[in-house]
């Protein structure tokens, strides 16, 4: 969803940066270490993009050699735990969505409408727990026959990307085998998941100039706009 169908990847990136910079700045003040801000390009692409929220938080912190306790789901937003920081990130995303709305990628919407008109079924896959809110805000919930998001993944105990579990579950919900399905992803972890699931086609959608990395992680083809596939 984020980065392929909706323009919320930019919202997520901004929320991750705001949350991590708040924590890193506070940590630097307490420890005397140099404040090194979260890099919205390198850090986002390599450690958090496409991953479940808790995994993304832990992955980035580990890259900085920071080990925090996991905490619990009801930890106060911004608390120095994996859950606390993740909760702050989620609150920031919801605030940005509610104040700025949700924009879609018009080319992707045209493509989805075209393939559905041709008789194909579609599923939306996202690691976000806010998928329903985003789809409703964008007015595109009716374009998908199935949804596998952070809430569904938790209920079914599905592993997050780069594991293929969520994509495989979506294919199953559509009643189609991976060998007859395609995955569309803008995240490196996402194309890796599609490749690991042995899908017939993994389309990398390059929104930020990372075409080579998407190919290295398993994309069969890379486009800048999904509408390019309409010919």
**What are the phi and psi torsion angles at 10 (to 5°)?**
-65, -35
pLDDT number for residue 129: 87
**Segment among 40-54, 163-177, 200-214 with least mean pLDDT:** 40-54
pLDDT band at 49 (very low <50, low <70, confident <90, very high): confident
Residue with the bigger pLDDT between 231 and 148: it is 148
Spans of all domains in the chain:
9-100, 106-230
Are 159 and 178 in contact, with CB atoms under 8 Å apart? no
Contact between 48 and 161 under an 8 Å Cβ cutoff? The reply is no
Instruction: Over range 180-198, report the average pLDDT.
Output: 97
User: For residues 55 and 97, which has the higher predicted lDDT (pLDDT)?
Assistant: 55
Calculate the average pLDDT of the chain. 95
Q: Which residues lie closer than 8 Å to 176 by C-beta, 6 or more apart?
A: 121
pLDDT tens per residue across span 63-116: 999 999 999 999 999 999 999 999 999 999 989 888 888 899 999 999 999 999
Model pTM?
Answer: 0.78
Give tens-digit pLDDT for 151-172.
999 999 999 999 999 999 999 9
The end-to-end CA distance of the chain, in Å, is 22
What is the residue whose two structure tokens read 């803008």?
Answer: 186
Least confident of 72-76, 128-132, 205-209: 128-132
Percent of the chain past pLDDT 90, that is, above it, reads 86
CATH class of 106-230: alpha beta
pLDDT confidence of residue 43: 95
């Amino acid at each position: 969803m984020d980065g392929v169908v909706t323009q919320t990847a930019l919202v997520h990136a901004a929320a991750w940066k705001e949350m991590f910079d708040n924590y890193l700045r506070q940590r630097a003040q307490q420890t005397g270490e140099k404040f090194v801000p979260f890099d919205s390009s390198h850090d986002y692409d390599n450690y958090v993009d496409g991953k479940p929220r808790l995994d993304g938080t832990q992955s980035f912190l580990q890259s900085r050699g920071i080990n925090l306790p996991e905490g619990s789901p009801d930890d106060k937003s911004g608390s120095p735990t994996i859950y606390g920081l993740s909760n702050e990130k989620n609150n920031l995303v919801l605030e940005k969505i509610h104040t700025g709305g949700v924009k879609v990628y018009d080319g992707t919407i045209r493509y989805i409408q075209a393939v559905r008109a041709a008789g194909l079924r579609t599923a939306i896959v996202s690691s976000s727990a806010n998928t329903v809110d985003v789809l409703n805000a964008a007015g595109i919930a009716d374009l998908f026959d199935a949804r596998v998001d952070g809430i569904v993944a938790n209920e079914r105990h599905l592993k997050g990307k780069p594991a293929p579990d969520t994509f495989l579950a979506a294919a199953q919900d559509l009643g189609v085998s991976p060998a007859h399905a395609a995955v569309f992803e803008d995240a490196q972890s996402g194309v890796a998941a599609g490749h690991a699931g042995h899908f017939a086609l993994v389309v990398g959608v390059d929104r930020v100039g990372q075409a080579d990395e998407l190919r290295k992680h398993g994309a069969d083809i890379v486009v800048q706009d999904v509408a390019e596939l309409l010919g």
